[in-house]
A and B are shown apart, each in its own frame.
Chain A
Amino acid sequence: MEATALDTTLNHYLSFSVDNDLYALNVGQVREVLELVPITKVPRMPEFIRGIINLRGKVVPVIDMRTKFGMANLDATIDTRVVVVESGHDDQVMLLGALVDSVSEVLEIKPESIQPAPTLGLDLNTDFIRGVGRHNDDSFIIILDIDKVFSTAELTLVKQAGVANAGQPEGQDS
């Protein structure tokens, strides 16, 4: 089994919040969590690409989860974190950073207590939601599939932005 496939043998998830909603990622896909480091902006990229950071000598792109989920941008706080994940796309393993409001604890969520994502009541495209887990008997936590959060379609958008920059250096505003 490849490391980037959703490792269902691990029942532990890293929970984090974006705009007061609680999300979780399977620990099998999480590399590390960083405090906010300076992000170099890459110009003329889609909004949800915040930029690139230096991860011990490696250049890693950072994606703003607030923007990704369609929420308004906020200034960073001391709780802001970058969750470095491994995402597999077209047989390539990529490192990506996900910019989140804060990171909470590692939870154990048994497969039995994960329900499929509801199709109504959420504004998000539910493709990348693996399921919804119960947390503390009173709140729900949305479990994300990292490979699908940054869907091939969106990354194509990024690529296209790059290509657009390449093929026609335009004089007008795009």
Chain B
Amino acid sequence: MSFDPLVQTFKDETLESLNDLEVSLMALESRPEDADLLNAAFRVMHTIKGSAAMFGFEQISDFTHEAETVFDRVRNHEIPVTPHLISLTLQAKDYIRAIVSGEGDAPDPAEIMQGYRALLGGEAASVAPETIDESSDEEGQAFLIRFRPEPNILATGTNLLPILRELADLGDLRTVLRSDALPTLADLQPDQVYVWWDFILTGQVSQADVEDVFMFVSDNAEVQYQPLEHVRSTDTHLLHELERLLISHGDADWVNVRDAVQSYAESHTHGQVIKDEAASQLKMLSEGARTSSIRVPTERINKLVDLVGELVIAHSRLVQLSSQSGNGDIRQLSEEMGRLVGDLRDESLDIRMVPIGTTFSRFQRLVRDLARDIGRDVIMETSGGDTELDATLIERLGDPLVHIIRNAVDHGIEPPDEREAAGKPRQGTIHLSASQSGPHVVITIQDDGHGLDLKRIREKAISKGLISPDAALSDKEAAQLIFAAGFSTADQVTNVSGRGVGMDVVRQSIHALRGTVEIDSELGRGTTIHLTLPLTLAIIEGLLVLVDDQEYVLPLYSVEECLEFQATERTTSGAKEHVRDVRGQMLPMVRLREWLKMPGDLPDIEQIVMTQVGSRRAGLIVDSVIGKHQTVIKPIGHIFEDMRAFSGATILGDGRVALILDVSWLITLAEEEHHRAIQSHTRELVVS
């Protein structure tokens, strides 16, 4: 390599900068505070120090190191510009010039450096030591390595393959690719890295060698090393076993993987024959790791559930065709398929079931932090964490629950002093619980705070024009007012949960999940919010009913029984049935035909479907009940999303669409009709 022209350039350049330096130094005598001059001086020292060694002038590099440090401090105003400093630097300049040009007398460098060191407080400025590579064990070393780049690492211009190759060049490398985090093609972003690797590297390698490979990426990746003692590159069988263990024990948690591999390696390198027991135990460990769980992306499970849904629909078509065909064999086969499809449906929906406990524990932290921020003392208790819900459901419950809990901490629990004055313990409690009730999950959030002030709520509602001043609302109805949009009785907007605008959004979110929200409160004692949610969002058992010529579906889990309703039993006071005595209980009713505004005469015999949601019950009058139907729930569409009466649609066996009725809403409808009827009846009585 011919460097000479480059060295010449360096010389020329340096001599020129030294001239500039002289000029700057002279100017600094009269303007010692001039930042530009200081920077210029620093830069000269910095440049010379950086490049001198590259062109064969190592001694200048060391020399200028002190000068550079001093000037860095000077420009940061840590060391003042003094005539002494200037003359010292002029001498330094002379030294450098002499060495670089090879002409003239060089002043004593040692003296000059002393002078600088004195300015620095006598500390010897450190010069970077040459990184000496600790040579490795002669027999070679084995390492377990994890390299997990962060998804965005490509934005640093990092090229992953050279890193892997560099690692492979160090010795014998066994690679296990982890691809669990790969999303579907639709969600895949090509500039993100979704995979990572676990390696076993053996060879004449030191930890420093390995660290060197990942030198540039250690900030943008998780890099872990674990030396595997006594494992030599010649232990091919053991290495093979370790590789298999790695493959089966793919855990995102490094500690687990590390411990598993290490313990396996340790027990196999004694050089002794391991007793059968111990060996088989370890084998079980690795196999246990293999069979206990598999990580599957949620996307894949959702896709599976969708496919099962389609299968259910296709099967119901088969059922229809097979009954029309009159062929006994086909009918039998169709029935058998029905059982299989039913089982498949149950199993696949089950896969998505996840205990709600993990979501609960999230909230412990939330409550603690929230309470601390606003000066309350609150703890959260949970129960029923092992209750399982559909994973998608849990996901979508997160936000509403956070809102409710926030409200409880912020608006529910009183400050400790107030509580004490009321004879309560200073610490408030929020109790979060989940339990399964038939096909529903009930989640309650109970606090022992000051409860809802129904009087104030009523007043507020009146002042906001939500209800008329003389409206007679039951306590339960008044409590429901807090779910109205724009309602808030909080006197000030707190940072924590903002206005009470959260509650109407909460209700909407719960309704979107086909669930219901109920609220119970006692002034001074506390408030309890009940969320009732269907266990699954996807496929349910339905009851097919007929109104006029249209089929509708009712979720079977809300249906208690069906009763015949003869024409003769209808009340003579008009077609609207508001209430019926069922075994001593007066139940509100609604005739779907009327509500759906279907024309035509009523059939002679109708059916009353007794439905129940939570503690609320009502009778829905339909023309006839057709039978059970495997209902795959399809969304009705964006433009219908505010239709509360229908929670979705489903495809019938003949390909037509049937709407799924929202029982909870219909019960409310029946109750309100009933309420209205009583009111008008009472008025009639009063008037007459």
Q: Tell me, yes or no, whether A and B come into direct contact in the complex with CB atoms closer than 8 A.
A: yes
Which A residues are closer than 8 A to B by beta carbons? Answer: 37-38, 40-44, 51-54, 57-61, 92, 94, 155, 158-163, 165-166, 169, 171, 173
Among A41, A52, A171, max chain B CB count under 10 A is at A171
Residues of chain B whose beta carbon lies under 8 Å from any beta carbon of chain A? 310, 313, 550, 576, 595-598, 634-646, 649, 651, 655-659, 665, 668-669, 672-673, 676-677
Give the contacting residue for A155; candidates B550, B639, B643; CB below 8 A. Answer: B639
Measured between C-beta atoms, what is the minimum distance from B588 to chain A in Å? 12
* Alpha-carbon gap, A41 to B658, bound state (A): 9
A159 with B596: in contact, given A57-B310, A169-B672 (CB under 8 Å)?
no
Contact residues in A for B669 (Cβ distance below 8 Å):
169
Secondary structure of the A contact surface, majority rule: mixed
**A159/B639 contact (C-beta < 8 A), A42-B646, A59-B634, A169-B672 known:** yes
A61 pairs with B640, CB closer than 8 A: yes
In the bound complex, CA of A43 to CA of B665 (Å): 15
> Do B656 and A162 have beta carbons less than 8 Å apart?
no
Given contacts A43-B597, A61-B640, contact A54 B655 (CB under 8 A): yes
Out of B646, B657, B672, B677, name the residue touching A53 (CB < 8 Å): B657
Interfacial chain B residues near A38, Cβ < 8 Å: 655-657
Inter-chain CA distance A108–B598, complex, in Å, is: 45
Would A43 and B634 be within 8 Å (CB), given that A54-B656, A158-B640 are in contact?
A: no
In the complex, besides A43-B598, A155-B639, 15 extra interface pairs with C-beta distance below 8 angstroms are A38-B656, A40-B657, A40-B659, A42-B640, A42-B659, A44-B645, A54-B651, A54-B657, A59-B636, A59-B637, A162-B643, A166-B665, A169-B645, A169-B669, A171-B672
One of A37, A43, A58 near B596 (C-beta < 8 A): A43
Whether the Cβ atoms of B673 and A52 lie closer than 8 Å is no
Q: Given A59-B635, A59-B637, does the pair A166, B655 have CB atoms closer than 8 Å?
A: no
Contact B639 A61 (CB under 8 A): yes
In whole Å, how far is B592's beta carbon from the nearest beta carbon of chain A? 9
A41 to chain B: closest residue by CB: B550
State which of B310, B636, B641, B673 has its C-beta within 8 Å of the C-beta of A169: B673
Known: A44-B596, A171-B673. A59 touches B657 (CB 8 A): yes
7 sampled A-B residue pairs with Cβ under 8 A: A37-B655, A43-B598, A52-B637, A57-B651, A162-B642, A166-B665, A169-B645
- The answer to whether B634 touches A40, judged by C-beta atoms less than 8 angstroms apart, is no
Note all chain B residues with C-beta closer than 8 A to A37: 655
Name the residue among B310, B598, B656, B658 with the largest chain A CB count within 10 angstroms.
B656
Could you tell me the distance in whole angstroms from the C-beta of A162 to the nearest C-beta in chain B? 4
- In the complex, the answer to whether A52 meets B643 with C-beta atoms within 8 Å is no
Closest B residue by C-beta to A172: B676
In angstroms, Cα B654 to Cα A37, docked, is 11
Q: Establish whether residues B636 and A52, one from each chain, have CB atoms under 8 Å apart when the complex forms.
A: yes
Q: Which residues of B contact A169 (CB under 8 A)?
A: 595, 645, 665, 668-669, 672-673
Closest A residue, CB atoms, query B598: A43
Nearest B residue (CB) for A168: B672
Specify which of B643, B656, B668 lies most central, judged by the most chain A CB atoms within 10 Å of its CB. Answer: B643
A165-B639 in contact given A38-B656, A40-B550 (Cβ < 8 Å): no
Q: Is the CB of A44 within 8 A of B597?
A: yes
The answer on a CB contact under 8 Å between B642 and A92 is no
Are B656 and A166 in contact, CB atoms less than 8 angstroms apart?
A: no
Task: Give chain A residues whose Cβ lies under 8 Å from the Cβ of B641.
Answer: 159, 162
Q: Counting chain A CB atoms within 10 Å of each CB, which of B636, B639, B659 scores highest? A: B639
B683 to chain A, nearest CB (A): 14
- The answer for the CA separation of A52 and B550 in the assembled complex, in Å, is 13
In chain A, what residue has the closest Cβ to B635?
A59
How far does the alpha carbon of A155 sit from the alpha carbon of B639 in the complex, in Å? 7
Q: How far is the CA of A160 from the CA of B640 in the complex (A)?
A: 10
Looking at A159, A160, A162, the one whose CB has the most chain B CB atoms below 10 A away is: A162
User: Are A159 and B642 closer than 8 Å at their CB atoms?
Assistant: yes
Residues on A with beta carbons closer than 8 Å to the beta carbon of B597: 43-44, 173
User: Are B659's CB and A57's CB within 8 A?
Assistant: no
Whole-angstrom distance between the Cβ of B212 and the nearest chain A Cβ: 49
User: Which 7 pairs, one residue from A and one from B, show the smallest C-beta to C-beta distance?
Assistant: A166-B644, A162-B642, A169-B669, A162-B643, A40-B657, A43-B596, A163-B642
A31 to chain B, nearest CB (A): 15
Give the docked Cα–Cα distance between A108 and B279 (Å): 78
- From residue A87, how far is it (CB to closest CB) to chain B in Å? 10
Identify which of B550, B640, B657 gathers the most chain A CB atoms within 10 Å of its CB: B657
Give the distance in Å from the alpha carbon of A53 to the alpha carbon of B659 in the complex: 11
CB of A40 within 8 A of CB of B637, answer no
Q: Are B645 and A40 in contact (CB under 8 A)?
A: no
Instruction: Write out the residue numbers on chain A whose beta carbons fall within 8 Å of the beta carbon of B313.
Output: 57
Which residues of B sit under 8 angstroms from A53, Cβ to Cβ?
657
Q: Which residue of B lies closest to A52 (CB)?
A: B657
Chain A residues in 8 Å Cβ range of B672: 169, 171
Complex CA gap A159/B597 in Å reads 19
Q: How far is the CB of B647 from chain A (nearest CB, A)?
A: 12
Contact of A57 with B634 in the complex, beta carbons under 8 Å: yes
Residues of A within 8 A of B665 (CB): 166, 169
A171–B637 CB distance below 8 A: no
Q: Which of B576, B636, B644 contacts A165 (CB 8 A)?
A: B644
Cα–Cα distance between A94 and B656 once the two chains are bound (Å): 20
Q: How distant is the Cα of A53 from the Cα of B634 in the complex, in angstroms?
A: 12
Q: How far is the CA of A92 from the CA of B635 in the complex (A)?
A: 15
Tell me the smallest distance from the CB of B405 to a CB of chain A, in Å.
Answer: 26
Q: Say whether A58 contacts B634, CB under 8 Å.
A: yes
Cα separation A38 to B656 with both chains bound (whole Å): 6
Residues of A within 8 A of B677 (CB): 171
Complex: A171 Cα to B671 Cα, angstroms: 11
Q: How far is the CA of A92 from the CA of B639 in the complex (A)?
A: 11
| A119 CB, min distance to chain B CBs, angstroms | 29
Could you say which of A40, A58, A94 has the most chain B C-beta atoms within 10 Å of its C-beta? A40
B residues in contact with A41, CB < 8 Å: 550
Q: How far is the CB of A29 from chain B (nearest CB, A)?
A: 17
Given A38-B656, A41-B550, A165-B643, A92 and B596 contact (CB-CB distance below 8 Å): no
Within the complex, the shortest CB–CB distance from A151 to chain B, in Å, comes to 12
